[in-house]
Amino acid sequence: MSDWRPWLRLWYLWAPPAALVALNAVWLAGVRGAFLGRGSALAHEVAATQSEVAKLERQAQQLQRAQQALANLQENLGTLRKEQMAPMRDRLIPFLNDVIKRTEASGLRPDRITYSVKREPKSGLVYFSAHFDVKGSYEQIRRCVFELETSPQFILLEGLTLHGADTATSLDVGVQFGVGTYFADLDEGLMKQLGVHEVSSGG
What tens digit of pLDDT does each residue of 76-95 get?
A: 555 555 555 678 888 888 99
pLDDT score of 128:
92
The answer for residues whose C-beta is within 8 angstroms of residue 190's C-beta and 6 or more apart is: 88, 89, 92
DSSP 8-class letter at 51: H
Give the predicted TM-score (pTM) of the model: 0.56
Q: How confident is the model at residue 33 (pLDDT cuts 50, 70, 90)?
A: low
pLDDT score of 140:
92
Mean pLDDT of 87-105: 91
- 138/123 Cα distance (integer angstroms): 37
Residue 116 above 60 pLDDT?
yes
Q: Among 12-26, 39-53, 134-148, whose mean pLDDT is lowest? A: 12-26
Residue 69 above 80 pLDDT?
no
Query: Can you name the residues that pair with 135 across neighbouring β-strands?
Result: 174
| 88-199 classified as CATH 3.10.50.30 | no
Domain coordinates in residue numbering, the chain = 1-83, 88-199
Residue 25 above 70 pLDDT?
no
